[in-house]
Amino acid sequence: MFEFGWFTAPLLVLALLAYSFRILREYERGIVFMLGRFWKVKGPGLVIVLPGIQQMVRVDLRTVVFDVPSQDVISRDNVSVKVNAVVYFRVVDPAKSILQVEDYLNATSQLAQTTLRSVLGKHELDEMLAEREKLNLDIQQSLDAQTDAWGIKVSNVEIKHVDINETMVRAIAKQAEAERERRAKIIHAEGELQASEKLLAAAEILARQPQAMQLRYLQTLAGIAGDKTNTIVFPVPGDFMDMLRKKAPGGDV
């Protein structure tokens, strides 16, 4: 019995020493507690942890990609949509990620969902569809500010889909069609205005130069000469009619 004790003692010491050695990868850090109190952050590489006295919690420093589940969002103009997004974050302070929050992965996930709803609820549907980059930045900044106390850095947020019901899709299509018609009418009206201004300017020039009016008549006559119609109504200048009246017997033309 005595010999067995001397034999097992070295084995027990070797087992304790082997258990004390921990290897942390380059992207890992170890939060070491001494008798339950935070001691220091260790790693990467070989780390010695004294069994029974010290405990170590591993923390991964790599970027985590989290898919935010589809959230029901009511926009500022009272439109119900479903929105999902992707959040990229990582641990920048391993000690805070363990000491300040129980489960930083779950906490960041839940916070991302609530932040997505609260930020998008401040914007109208048109902004959600047309200004995604701005909304991504707003969500990222809001989320990053709240997770800073946990030692978490939110590097990017990307809105993936904004799903709208069929009724709203038809309403948006009608709105787009009405907008196109409005623009077409405005363009047509602007064209009419420009044409009338040009015609007015041309009329003023022709009124000052009777010879130019005669040339214009001749050009018009040449243009319609090839027409197959039998009757051509051609305007005659008023001064020409006055001249005919003076030469005609009795003054009637």
How sure is the predictor about 1, in pLDDT bands with cuts at 50, 70 and 90?
A: very low
Domain residue extents for the chain: 2-59, 64-164, 175-210
Per residue, what are the HEC states of the chain?
Answer: CHHHHHHHHHHHHHHHHHHHEEEECCCEEEEEEECCEEEEEECCEEEECCCCCEEEEEEECCCEEEEEEEEEEECCCCCEEEEEEEEEEEECCHHHHHHCCCCHHHHHHHHHHHHHHHHHCCCCHHHHHHCHHHHHHHHHHHHHHHHHHHCEEEEEEEEEEEECCHHHHHHHHHHHHHHHHHHHHHHHHHHHHHHHHHHHHHHHHHHHCHHHHHHHHHHHHHHHCCCCCCCCCCCCCHHHHHHHHHHCHHHCC
Sort residue 35 into left (φ over 0), alpha (ψ -120 to 50) or beta. left
Percentage, residues of the chain above pLDDT 70: 71
Furthest CA-CA distance within the chain: 162
pLDDT for 12-29, tens place per residue?
A: 666 666 678 888 999 999
With bands split at pLDDT 50, 70 and 90, how would you rate the model's confidence at 127? confident
pLDDT number for residue 230: 54
Mean pLDDT highest for which of 29-33, 80-84, 162-166? 29-33
Predicted TM-score (pTM) of this structure: 0.64
The predicted pLDDT at position 76 comes to 86
For the domain spanning 64-164, the CATH number is: 3.30.479.30
> What is the Cα–Cα distance from 212 to 204, expressed in whole angstroms?
11
Return the number of other C-beta atoms located less than 10 Å from residue 56's C-beta: 18
* pLDDT interval class at 170 (50, 70, 90): low
Residue range 134-139: mean pLDDT, rounded: 93
Please give the pLDDT value at position 194.
86
pLDDT, position 2: 43
Amino acid letter, residue 4: F
Average pLDDT, the chain: 81
Q: Which residue has the higher pLDDT, 220 or 243?
A: 220
Mean pLDDT of 99-113: 93
Q: Answer yes or no: is pLDDT of 215 > 70.
A: no
